[in-house]
A and B are shown apart, each in its own frame.
Chain A
Amino acid sequence: MHAPGPPPKKRLLRLRLNGRWREDAVAERDLLVDYLRDVAHLTGVKTGCDGGECGACTVLVDGEAVPSCITLAVRCEGRDVETIEGLAAQGRLSRLQRAFHEKLGTQCGFCTPGMIMAAEALLRRIPNPSDQEIRTALSGNLCRCTGYVKIIESVHAAAESAS
């Protein structure tokens, strides 16, 4: 066995995470998904394919839904990062969380945080999306257990509940 080398050199990352500014020491090679799960302990962000193909790790960076498993953490310097944990306010579920719960859109639950974050970015941009707009916005998020019917119904329900 080789003796482990010194840990990689770190630098200070300053970002606004779920509305609060914070600073953390991160290595330049650290991925956003690992920073969020292991440093900020926001484990609602899921590690799925680990290669940008499944969308389970989707978070919002400056309001845009992106896969955090292929985003370097240091490139979020000064930016606004939102995860599923940031949606509920004062213990109340957001409209999307409530709709996924009521319409059974959560299914097994693993892809749900990514689905909801991608849908959140969509609803902020298009408050009343068409079926096609929902399908396009969620086309980077894979469900591996049952299918997309309940998920799309949930997004429609969330849009209707706000209007």
Chain B
Amino acid sequence: MSASLAEFRIAQPNTVKEAVAACLKHPGSRYVAGGTDLIVNMRRGISGPDLLVDLSGIDELSEIKTDGRGVTIGAGVTIAALARDKAIASRYRALAQAAAAIAGPGHRVMATVGGNLCLDTRCIYYNQSEWWRSANAYCLKNRGTVCHVAPQGQRCHAAFSGDLAPALLVYGAEVDIAGAQGQRRIPLSELYVEDGKAHLALAAGELVVAVHLPAAPPPSAYEKVRVRGAIDFPLAGVAAALTLSGTNVGSLRIALTGTNSRPFLLAGTEVFAGRPVDDKLLQEIDRLVQKQVQPMRTTIASANYRRVAAAALARRLVSKLTARE
């Protein structure tokens, strides 16, 4: 028998309201949807909630709805359902590509959109067994006092590794969040904070319930680098959205994951509007990416490799989108 999980109870609410109420009532509780991230961490003794609020029975979370204003994706939609949705694949290509590249096929059947957006940050000193972490006196993110990646630093440098967030960021997506005060809507970019220990700007009991995508998205694409072609998290992941006016850039947005403690939109791409997509422009994109990513020694690949790979992906995606247009 495998090492058993610490004891906990499960609440299985049928509505978002009941779920939020259950979570608020039990301060040591956690939401669980697919469980592909949380259960693994619980097995490693990283997270030990005494109550799991199971979201899988909430039907209102598992719909993809389209209207004139765009598309609304419920947080409980599975990654597999998102990856095979024909309307998403034809219009929001980066999102479909990101979904199809998450983990392995078995995980995609279980994992959800909300779970991928709220994925815990990862680090080579954190995603380890209990005995491994205890031998290192734990780390700043969990039970310890020092970040072994940057011992002089004041914060945790664990990397956000969700694939959907960068794709959604290039469309300017918004998220609905349910909580004690009802529901609020914020730009997806505001969900994240550059702190590996507390990277989600969510209050106690708050739950991401849906993602909104604007209608008429620009052409887009997503690519990531990882050690194996499946299962592994990205060492760097890049989404790009590009419109052309003639042969010049109309608008360009680039977003990244896997390199920082939050997924983020690359700043400064608006200056490329009106310029032709040539080697000079690609070099400037490369420099911009290398300047803004902050990969640390948090994965099995070196920080510099991930920096250079992220920049190369950005260049490649912009070239491909230009050729396709």
> Is A153's CB within 8 Å of the partner chain B?
no
> Is A160's CB within 8 Å of the partner chain B?
no
- On whether the beta carbons of B109 and A65 are closer than 8 Å, the reply is yes
CA distance A29 to B6 in the complex (A): 7
> Is A129's CB within 8 Å of the partner chain B?
no
Chain B residues lying within 8 Å of A55, measured Cβ to Cβ, are 104, 106
Tell me the minimal C-beta distance from B99 to chain A in angstroms: 13
Among B3, B10, B230, the residue within 8 A (CB) of A28 is B10
CA distance A58 to B109 in the complex (A): 12
- On whether the beta carbons of A140 and B107 are closer than 8 Å, the reply is yes
| Contacting residues of chain A (68-94) with chain B, CB-CB under 8 angstroms | 69-72, 74-75
- On whether the beta carbons of A67 and B44 are closer than 8 Å, the reply is no
| Contacting residues of chain B (1-24) with chain A, CB-CB under 8 angstroms | 1-10
- On whether the beta carbons of B2 and A139 are closer than 8 Å, the reply is no
Tell me the minimal C-beta distance from B41 to chain A in angstroms: 10
Main secondary structure of the interface of B (DSSP, over half): loop
Chain B residues lying within 8 Å of A52, measured Cβ to Cβ, are 36, 39-40, 106-107
- How many chain-B residues does the 8 Å CB contact rule pick out? 29
Chain B residues lying within 8 Å of A8, measured Cβ to Cβ, are 7
- The proximity string for A residues 23-64 relative to B, scoring 1 for CB distances below 8 Å and 0 otherwise, is 000011111011001100000000100111101001000001
> Is A66's CB within 8 Å of the partner chain B?
yes
CA distance A30 to B3 in the complex (A): 10
Among A28, A33, A67, the residue within 8 A (CB) of B107 is A67
- The proximity string for A residues 124-135 relative to B, scoring 1 for CB distances below 8 Å and 0 otherwise, is 000000000000
Nearest-CB residue, chain A, relative to B7: A8
Nearest-CB residue, chain B, relative to A68: B106
CA distance A38 to B7 in the complex (A): 18
> Is A96's CB within 8 Å of the partner chain B?
no
> Is A161's CB within 8 Å of the partner chain B?
no
CA distance A71 to B35 in the complex (A): 7
- On whether the beta carbons of B109 and A64 are closer than 8 Å, the reply is yes
- On whether the beta carbons of A140 and B2 are closer than 8 Å, the reply is no
> Is B56's CB within 8 Å of the partner chain A?
yes
A38-B1, A51-B44, A118-B105 known; A70 vs B39 contact (CB < 8 Å): yes
A47-B2, A72-B39 known; A27 vs B7 contact (CB < 8 Å): yes
> Is B110's CB within 8 Å of the partner chain A?
yes
CA distance A38 to B68 in the complex (A): 53
- On whether the beta carbons of A53 and B231 are closer than 8 Å, the reply is yes
Tell me the minimal C-beta distance from B31 to chain A in angstroms: 14
- On whether the beta carbons of B4 and A139 are closer than 8 Å, the reply is no
- On whether the beta carbons of A29 and B5 are closer than 8 Å, the reply is yes
Chain B residues lying within 8 Å of A34, measured Cβ to Cβ, are 1-2, 4
- On whether the beta carbons of A140 and B106 are closer than 8 Å, the reply is yes
- On whether the beta carbons of B8 and A29 are closer than 8 Å, the reply is yes
| Contacting residues of chain B (92-121) with chain A, CB-CB under 8 angstroms | 103-107, 109-110
Nearest-CB residue, chain A, relative to B109: A64
CA distance A36 to B176 in the complex (A): 38
- On whether the beta carbons of B230 and A139 are closer than 8 Å, the reply is yes
A28-B8, A29-B7, A50-B43 known; A70 vs B230 contact (CB < 8 Å): no
> Is A143's CB within 8 Å of the partner chain B?
no
| Contacting residues of chain B (23-79) with chain A, CB-CB under 8 angstroms | 35-36, 39-40, 43-44, 54, 56
Chain A residues lying within 8 Å of B56, measured Cβ to Cβ, are 75
> Is A157's CB within 8 Å of the partner chain B?
no
CA distance A140 to B80 in the complex (A): 14
> Is B229's CB within 8 Å of the partner chain A?
yes
- On whether the beta carbons of A71 and B43 are closer than 8 Å, the reply is no
- On whether the beta carbons of A50 and B3 are closer than 8 Å, the reply is yes
CA distance A53 to B227 in the complex (A): 13
Among A37, A72, A139, the residue within 8 A (CB) of B10 is A72
Nearest-CB residue, chain B, relative to A74: B10
- The proximity string for B residues 218-241 relative to A, scoring 1 for CB distances below 8 Å and 0 otherwise, is 000000000001110000000000
CA distance A28 to B54 in the complex (A): 12
- On whether the beta carbons of A51 and B40 are closer than 8 Å, the reply is yes
Tell me the minimal C-beta distance from A72 to chain B in angstroms: 7
- On whether the beta carbons of B105 and A65 are closer than 8 Å, the reply is yes
Chain A residues lying within 8 Å of B230, measured Cβ to Cβ, are 139-140
CA distance A65 to B106 in the complex (A): 6
> Given A34-B4, A67-B106, list of 19 further CB < 8 A pairs?
A30-B4, A38-B1, A51-B40, A52-B36, A52-B106, A55-B104, A58-B106, A65-B105, A65-B106, A67-B107, A70-B39, A71-B39, A136-B105, A137-B105, A139-B231, A140-B104, A140-B105, A140-B106, A142-B231
